[in-house]
Amino acid sequence: MVIINSVKELKDKVSALRRENKTVGLVPTMGALHAGHASLVSRSVRENDATVVSVFVNPTQFNDKNDLVAYPRTLEADCALLESIGADYVFAPSVEEVYPEPDTRTFSYPPTDTVMEGAFRPGHFNGVCQIVSKLFMFVEPDRAYFGEKDFQQIAVIKAMVADYVSKGTEWAKRLEIHPCPIVREADGLALSSRNTLLAANERAIAPNIYKALKASVAYSKNHTVEETKQQTIADINAIEGLEVQYYDIVNALTLESVTSWDDADHIQGCITVFCGATPIRLIDNINYK
């Protein structure tokens, strides 16, 4: 496995792969890797001749500077994990390497980037599009892999790629976006790099989020969307130390809120919960149909 810090070296390496007609998979990450990331990387290794994993805590997607400072950074352990599961290249650049000058590009794909996380974290998805578009331009991958824990992020990235395709961009035409299922702890907590920030008592209550989401699917069978939403919020808020920031039940393709279970063929519930005193912001989602 080769660790690369410069954009030029990355581009040279992938150009060499292309000359040999090799397919390239990209797994963008912010490091602090866990089994969820490992599942994306393993899939890329299975489906491509070469796999590039980026490890970069992207400052432009953090609307809260304290969150950026607190974000876990574990490059050495990340590289050991990536080597053990067969990644070929790790791209771990500095902020200056990725942003030699401020990125002033703006991306806007409403409603995917304006609802839920978009409303509560202004600028977040613009930053995600800045870094992910740069990574796509550097690597020009055949396939890119993203975890469904960030359900909304996938919708925004798909909208961004569709936008590049509509402008005739070659790398976008070839690129396939592959969403991958959430990986959970045995007690149901969705794996997240942020889980390492949870104190023991916070970690103990966090699985109640998924427990409530699962219960809500059963509840939804004979209740309205609004009743299901309110019941889920009440179940989670009843646990001391958990506080729902939002729970929305949406069309899984457009991310628009639904008011009836007949409003869309695929319906997803997306939640953000504050956990503990710090608090740590945890997100999760569940499919209703």
Which spans of this chain sit near ligand PAF (rule: CB under 6 A)? 28-30, 58, 61, 128, 131-132, 150, 153
CB of 93 to ligand PAF, least distance (A): 12
Is 247 in a helix, a strand, or coil? strand
Nearer to ligand PAF, 58 or 220 (CB): 58
Distance of CA 102 to the CA centre of its chain: 23
Contact in structure between 41 and 165 (CB atoms under 8 Å): no
Instruction: Give the active site residue among 37, 124, 178, 223.
Output: 37
Residue linked to tokens 């798909």 = 158
Tally the residues of the chain. 289
Pairing of strands 267-275, 242-251: antiparallel
CB of 149 to ligand PAF, least distance (A): 8
Nearest-angstrom CA–CA distance, 132 and 173: 16
| H helix or E strand, kind and range, residue 29 | strand 24-29
Nearer to ligand PAF, 150 or 235 (CB): 150
* 287 half-sphere exposure, CB direction, 13 A CA radius: 10
Report the number of secondary-structure helices (H) and strands (E) in the chain. Answer: 12, 9
CB of 48 to ligand PAF, least distance (A): 18
Asked if 34 is an active-site residue, the reply is: no
Nearer to ligand PAF, 93 or 212 (CB): 93
CA distance between the termini of the chain: 41
CB of 178 to ligand PAF, least distance (A): 13
CB of 226 to ligand PAF, least distance (A): 30
The sheet carrying 280-287 orders its strands as: 242-251, 267-275, 280-287
Nearer to ligand PAF, 194 or 223 (CB): 194
Nearer to ligand PAF, 61 or 112 (CB): 61
Residues recognised as catalytic? 37
